[in-house]
Amino acid sequence: TSNDPKRKAKGTVSDDGVLRPVKLSKKELYKAPTVEQLNQLKEAEYLFHCSILKMQMEELLKEVALSEHRKKLVDSFVLQVTDFLQCVPKSEVVELDDISWLSGVEVPFLLVPSTTKGKFHMEPPASISLVGSYPLGTCVKPKVSVDLAVTIPASILHPMQYPRKRALYLAGLARHLSFAKVVCSLHYSCLHGNRLRPVLLLKPPGKDSSKVTIRILVIPPPDFLKPSHFHPQKNNIRTEWFTGVADTHAQCPAFGEGVALLKVWLRQRELDQGAGCFCGFHASMLMAYLLSTHKVGKTMNPYQLLRNALHFLASTDLTENGITLSRNPDSKAHSLVFVDPSGHLNLLADMTAFTYKWIQHEASLSLKFWDDPTVDGFHALLMTPKSMLRTYDNVFKLSSLVNLQTSCKKLLLLNELVDHSGNYVLTALPFILSLLQQGLGERIHLLAHSLPQDPEWPVDSAPPKHKDQPPLSIGLLLNLEHAPSVLERGPPADNPKAAEFRQLWGSCSELQRFQDGAITEAVLWSGNSISHRRFVLLKIIAHLLELHADIPKSCIRFVGGQLDIVVKICTTGEEESLKVVQSYDDLSKKLWQLKGLPLSITSVQDAHQALRYTQVFPPVPLPKENKPCPYYITPIKVIVHMEGSGKWPSEHMAIRHVKAAFHICLGELLCKQHKYKCHATPTYLDVWKDGLVFRIQVAYHREPQILRESLTPEGMLIYRDNAEAQVLELETLHKPFLTSTLHGYSTYINMQNTLSFVLASDIREEAADLLVASLFLHPAPFTPPSSPQVGFLRFLHLLSTFDWKNNPLIVNLNGKLTAAEHTDIKNDFVASREALPSMFIVTHNDKKVSVWTTEAPSVQMLQRAVMLAAESLRVLETQLDSDQKQDIRVSSSIVNLYYANVCSCHLFVFNLTVSFEAFGDLALFFYDPYGGTVIAVLWKPATSLMNAHRVEVNDDVATTVPNVEAILQDFRIIGEGLVKKFDLRTEKWVV
């Protein structure tokens, strides 16, 4: 896979994708490759990438497939339950509204009206069949659910009373099974959120209770209801849906495994469960459709079946053109159409158009990552869970769902409410989403919603009410070009669409005159700062839902609102960074305009965090007169490279003297030509500008190389790397490059707030910046984050789940690394792993060195950072997803004080930590660089060093132990006047 024509090719890929050896002549070896050969090389690389992905999927199929032991357990449990169900005793005939015979078991149905005419009795099922994914071979771990279709005897049923009698029969089965020793627990649920389709959940006893669930579905006997009853204009229960899939399964050997992969893909995206989901059955029916229409071949492997299924989902819009497995389907009556083989059942009738757009988006995104050889497609497609909190930039929650009853009245949804059997949540949901889509418009790329999960409740309890289900979540993928805008500009007043605009926005819409002279309808939201504009979307959603759906603002919660104070602090930092950047840009122009320099300036480069928008608290301008001066002023480093010339000396001490002269010269010229206050030193020049301090350091591009030069006693010039050269190269080359690159990215991908949250656990700020940059440059399986919260959550997930031991983290700045270079980097990493840092971050400027992590973190500190990130992610997601108010806010007055004093606080704690580092062989020291007042000390494991140790003699055996009392006394002396108290947690000491 090398582009080097001199490198001998080891093989060629044939049409069947197999790599076979080939011999080349010397002439061919040294001949430059043609365009055709380069294309063949790219094709070979792609086939290799696909082969790896295929093998990974094959291994995954082995992992998710049921073991023989699990299959025996399932078969045994199914057999015992089936035998017990066949022994249901025949009962006396009672009135339909008499449920006293159930004694201790509730009916999983809303018995309205409470009295009704009719008769009912129990008797054994007409038949019991194993259906669904288990007999098809598409069942996957960890949640193994087996479906038993229990046919109700025709003598019990009546077409007009079918839903009620089906629920009563299911309750009778539950009462009968409550006496079965083979059953551990009995719960009711409903099929995909439909309360008219209750099911019974059974689990085996003992340690196997978590390994399998039997789901009992009661169905009518064949031909009990006429197909004409299932016309879209009829309101009837739906027919059995398993017909025809088994035959299709037999025609394609890989059918089951292809469906299994598609189910894993759906599960990782939380699309396979709940009302209106795309469940495993839908996956099977989709694959059956693709086979029956020859969109996939019968000889395809699981890898190919999955890819073609995703391609179909991404490229086919079922809201425009429905699909069918029937020759004579009924007419279209839903927004989404996928008709089953009977021609009477729309498989996607309960799915909203927004869920389908979500599926389309995910399928399209997956194919994009699939075809990228620089992306671990297998991990992105099938191994990374995509929770809503980590997928969408903004997530809002609707609570107190009982208010949706009023929404149905406000939106005049009586007919739709009847269609959903009184489920006002599912009735109102698509209309509310359409309203939000209309109002948010170009501000978002995608709007999605959580799928109301199927409720579960004990058989001795009444069904939960619709209002008792968890809040609905609404996720938004933002369009940053329009999302924070405070202006919603409408049509001109005389335009026919102006009335529609006013109807949508209500009293918020007013006529406005704009600078171009136009007078149009417009809505103006308040928002002077970046943080305020971030909440414009919340204002829009709250306004529209209250105006059109009678949903009060108190029912709407912005997930991440608990972090809004922190976000505002960081946003303040972002605004300060903008001021710093503007001041720097002006200084840079002035430097270029200087006249009278002995050598020309070749580049002016920013080398400070604030100039790449990644500093939590950027430098604060000096106070004006009669204001207190801060204890510490952070200088902003600027690197000025001077042109190469024969005037430069070739000895490093002489170079330093020349640079010192340049510092003096630059200061004099800036003072004379631009009236800046300057202070020159041998190693830098401080420039006061706009209340800020810029620290200019002159650089000469050959200085690191000269530092590596030395003469042997024989007078031979040799090159040896050394720490001084590395530090100089880092400060004058690597850091300016990183700063300018991330500065460029920050202007359009909004990295600053994400970076502000990053942990400082012994990880250099530049390494942290690169970690976050990778989330934007290589977001698979997501889109690049467009909000601080989702960026921070993904950072914690990356840090805690990345395989640091076996993989380098490649950050492809400016897209300069090719796929072949990616492969070479990984190969070099594996070959040299033992000699490389524990955290290895690669850019195109340092493919083999990882300059930002060479010194830190150590293996132990990386492990600690990984552990902290994992726990922080768990706690934060739990709090953000909770409906209870979390006590993690602080008052704005305290925040302001905190912000004002952070520099001095940081300086004192930092200096103390540096002082305590004299004991670095005995302990590790931790402190919060953003205003923390605590220094945490962790004793290291036993060491053989004698420093700070004392001798103990036990049974004539002398040993050395740390002299803890003396060390603590030293801490007290060092911290005198600064340290408030020492908290000695002796119960945790291991020294």
The CATH number assigned to the domain holding 478 equals 3.30.70
DSSP secondary structure string, 311-371? HHHHH--TTTS-EESSSSPPPP-SSS-EE-TTSS-BTTTT--HHHHHHHHHHHHHHHHHHT
In a domain, 634, yes or no: yes
DSSP secondary structure string, 654-686? HHHHHHHHHHHHHHHHHHHHH--EEEE-SS-EE
Please tell me the distance from the alpha carbon of residue 64 to that of residue 572, in angstroms, as a whole number.
48
CATH number of the domain where residue 121 is located: 3.30.460.10
In a domain, 740, yes or no: no
Tokens 């159930």: give the residue: 102
Please tell me the distance from the alpha carbon of residue 362 to that of residue 356, in angstroms, as a whole number.
10
End-of-domain residue from the set 508, 535, 560: 560
Q: Are residues 545 and 604 in the same domain?
A: no
Q: Are residues 163 and 86 in the same domain?
A: yes
The pLDDT score that the predictor gives to residue 628 is 66
In a domain, 287, yes or no: no
In a domain, 285, yes or no: no
Q: Are strands 841-842 and 809-810 parallel, antiparallel or unpaired?
A: parallel
End-of-domain residue from the set 196, 225, 254: 225
Q: Are residues 710 and 764 in the same domain?
A: no
Q: Are residues 578 and 691 in the same domain?
A: yes
H helices of 201-274, where? 245-251, 255-268
The pLDDT score that the predictor gives to residue 230 is 60
Helix axes 859-881, 788-801, angle to 10 degrees: 140
Please tell me the distance from the alpha carbon of residue 146 to that of residue 72, in angstroms, as a whole number.
13
Q: Are strands 677-680 and 472-478 parallel, antiparallel or unpaired?
A: unpaired
The pLDDT score that the predictor gives to residue 386 is 95
Q: Which conformational region is residue 820 in: left (phi greater than 0), alpha (psi within -120 to 50 degrees), or beta?
A: alpha
In a domain, 362, yes or no: no
Q: Are residues 691 and 797 in the same domain?
A: no
β-pair partners for 612:
none
The pTM of this model reads 0.84
Buried-state track 655-692, b at ≥16 Cβ within 10 A, e below 16: bbebbbebbebbbebbeeebebebebeeebbbbebeeb
Q: Are residues 414 and 532 in the same domain?
A: yes
* Phi and psi at residue 544, to the nearest 5°: -65, -40
In a domain, 849, yes or no: yes
Q: Are residues 909 and 830 in the same domain?
A: no
In a domain, 366, yes or no: no
Q: Are residues 795 and 862 in the same domain?
A: yes
Q: What is the largest CA-CA distance in the chain?
A: 114
CB atoms within 10 A of CB 531: 20
Please tell me the distance from the alpha carbon of residue 125 to that of residue 154, in angstroms, as a whole number.
10
Buried-state track 501-529, b at ≥16 Cβ within 10 A, e below 16: bbebbeebbeebeeeeeeebbbbebebee
The pLDDT score that the predictor gives to residue 1 is 36
Angle at 366 between CA 362 and CA 372, to 5 degrees: 150
Q: Are residues 935 and 839 in the same domain?
A: no
Q: Which two tokens stand for residue 29?
A: 């070896």
In a domain, 454, yes or no: yes
Q: Are residues 663 and 533 in the same domain?
A: no
Domain around 778? 753-888
Residue ranges in the chain whose pLDDT is less than 50? 1-20, 29, 235-244, 748-753, 755-760, 886-907
End-of-domain residue from the set 863, 888, 913: 888
What order of strands is seen across the sheet that includes strand 692-699? 601-606, 636-642, 692-699, 685-689, 677-680
H or E, element range at 892: helix 892-916
Q: Are residues 669 and 547 in the same domain?
A: no
Q: Are residues 830 and 710 in the same domain?
A: no
Domain count, the chain: 5
User: Among candidates 217, 237, 242, which has minimal Cα distance to 227?
Assistant: 237
